[in-house]
């Protein structure tokens, strides 16, 4: 858009210098439209860090936030924008869906920025592999979230006279005491992705990392129909005893608020919950506690947020896009963003001294899990399987969780059917 073409001819000479200067600066300054689902208090603060950095480079940031935890709504909106031939220039897309978009031929290429920033050497293989399509970088990783966390309010635990549970039996026992003391033992938001988030931690806890991979990565029918899975499903439904009646449809951050406010004792949720505790001015290890989900201490369910770039044609917008990609992996952004977001940096070479104790534990556990091969991709957060199977699993898990009449065996059978339909 050239606003100056609207000026009458006689003013052109007079404005010559201004026009030239404006044109020079606009060849540099582009726009990047960024689709994401970071709308909770902690998340909005975190994405603000990136917006400020992009704007400081002279580009403009068109915010395209679509509310809804885990990005289910954001992905629906993205599909409709892409189908109408008008995708945003950058979109938060995680895991194998990056490949799905790559196959459609819609993604741009970040190889030049990647080479300049030496991403190959910088990023752990598990992270870098997800960012490439047919060998080319098409996305940039923002962070590494851990899903298998248990969060707790220590004052509530103390008031009820219980310790932070380290096994499922302890959790159910503590639950009774917490109820008697007038608290909701386990805060939960009844949305399919939140149900799936709790469910996958149970699969890991009961079966270990090999079993987890058999179920969610290999879609192994025998594992899905095993006795271990039946046990997982039964415990999963039993957790309802610890939850409250207000859970249907509740957003995850409102659920975290119940723990923050002291109405509930605990929540099973990924470490984006930490962003809410921090935004409320609470200190890790003092005002709130984090602990790996019982039985998963040496394991790590990872969830990597990333921005994939769509092809854009205007050179200045391409430049804005490349700038965004470069900034995301720079130490300044990685440190500032991840401290607010609750995750650990996507690049492992940063000084973690300024991070809180939960983040430090997360990085230590990530490295230990990577070396011990107990690092597993999140099913609930789009890391483990393609979106069709994931959608089918979500439906079955949620239906089972909410239908008193569906047995664990029936749910396992349905999961197995969905897995075999995927081939």
Q: Write out the residues near ligand GAL by the rule CB under 6 A.
A: 37-38, 43, 69-71, 145, 252, 272, 303, 305, 381
Identify which of residues 183 and 212 has a Cβ nearer to ligand GAL in the complex: 212
CA-CA distance, 242 to 186, in Å (whole number)? Answer: 5
User: From the CB of 272, what's the least distance to ligand GAL, in Å?
Assistant: 4
User: From the CB of 263, what's the least distance to ligand GAL, in Å?
Assistant: 21
User: From the CB of 276, what's the least distance to ligand GAL, in Å?
Assistant: 10
How many angstroms separate the first and last alpha carbons of the chain?
50
User: From the CB of 249, what's the least distance to ligand GAL, in Å?
Assistant: 15
Identify which of residues 208 and 391 has a Cβ nearer to ligand GAL in the complex: 391
Residue matched to tokens 């990597």? 304
Kind plus residue range of the DSSP H or E element containing 63: strand 60-65
User: From the CB of 256, what's the least distance to ligand GAL, in Å?
Assistant: 10
CA-CA distance, 263 to 260, in Å (whole number)? Answer: 8
CA-CA distance, 367 to 375, in Å (whole number)? Answer: 9
Residue matched to tokens 């990783």? 141
CA-wise closest residue to 282 among 293, 290, 294? 290
* Residues β-bridged to residue 10: none
User: From the CB of 189, what's the least distance to ligand GAL, in Å?
Assistant: 10
Identify which of residues 145 and 326 has a Cβ nearer to ligand GAL in the complex: 145
Identify which of residues 69 and 87 has a Cβ nearer to ligand GAL in the complex: 69
User: From the CB of 316, what's the least distance to ligand GAL, in Å?
Assistant: 29
Identify which of residues 19 and 260 has a Cβ nearer to ligand GAL in the complex: 260
CA-CA distance, 249 to 247, in Å (whole number)? Answer: 6
Residue matched to tokens 């979500």? 394
Identify which of residues 159 and 251 has a Cβ nearer to ligand GAL in the complex: 251
Pairing of strands 184-187, 264-268: parallel
Identify which of residues 271 and 365 has a Cβ nearer to ligand GAL in the complex: 271
* Residues β-bridged to residue 35: 64, 91
Cβ within 8 Å of residue 145, ≥6 positions away: 270, 271, 272, 302, 303, 304, 305, 342, 343, 381
């Amino acid at each position: 858009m050239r606003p100056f073409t609207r000026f009458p001819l006689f003013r052109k000479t007079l404005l010559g210098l201004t026009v030239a200067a404006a044109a020079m600066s606009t060849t540099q300054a582009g726009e990047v439209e960024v689709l994401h689902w970071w709308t909770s208090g902690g998340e909005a603060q975190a994405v603000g860090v990136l917006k400020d950095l992009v704007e400081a480079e002279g580009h403009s940031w068109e915010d395209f936030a679509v509310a809804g935890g885990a990005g289910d709504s954001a992905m629906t909106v993205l599909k409709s924008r892409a189908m109408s031939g008008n995708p945003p220039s950058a979109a938060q897309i995680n895991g194998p869906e990056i490949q799905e978009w790559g196959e459609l031929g819609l993604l741009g290429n970040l190889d030049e920025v990647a080479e300049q920033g030496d991403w190959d050497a910088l990023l752990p293989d598990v992270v870098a592999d997800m960012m490439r399509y047919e060998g080319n970088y098409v996305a940039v990783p923002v962070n590494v979230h851990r899903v298998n966390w248990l969060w707790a309010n220590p004052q509530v635990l103390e008031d009820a006279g219980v310790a932070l549970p380290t096994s499922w039996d302890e959790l159910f026992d503590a639950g009774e005491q917490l109820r008697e003391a007038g608290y909701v033992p386990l805060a939960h938001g009844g949305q399919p992705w939140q149900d799936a988030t709790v469910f996958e931690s149970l699969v890991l806890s009961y079966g270990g990392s090999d079993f987890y991979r058999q179920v969610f990565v290999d879609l192994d029918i025998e594992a899905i129909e095993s006795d271990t899975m039946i046990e997982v499903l039964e415990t999963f439904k039993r957790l309802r005893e610890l939850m409250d009646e207000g859970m249907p449809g509740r957003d995850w951050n409102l659920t975290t608020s119940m723990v923050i406010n002291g109405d509930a004792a605990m929540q099973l949720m990924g470490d984006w919950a930490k962003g809410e505790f921090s935004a409320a001015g609470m200190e890790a290890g003092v005002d709130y506690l984090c602990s790996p989900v019982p039985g998963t201490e040496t394991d790590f369910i990872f969830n990597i947020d990333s921005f994939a770039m769509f092809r854009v044609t205007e050179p200045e917008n391409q430049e804005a896009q490349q700038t965004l990609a470069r900034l995301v992996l720079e130490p300044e952004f990685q440190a500032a963003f991840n401290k607010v977001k609750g995750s650990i940096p996507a690049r492992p070479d940063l000084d973690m001294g300024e991070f809180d104790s939960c983040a430090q534990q997360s990085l230590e556990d990530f490295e230990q899990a990577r070396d011990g091969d107990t690092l597993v991709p999140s099913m609930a957060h789009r890391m483990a399987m393609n979106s069709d199977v994931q959608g089918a699993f979500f439906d079955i898990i949620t239906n089972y969780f909410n239908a008193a009449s569906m047995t664990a065996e029936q749910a396992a059978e349905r999961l197995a059917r969905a897995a075999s339909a995927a081939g």
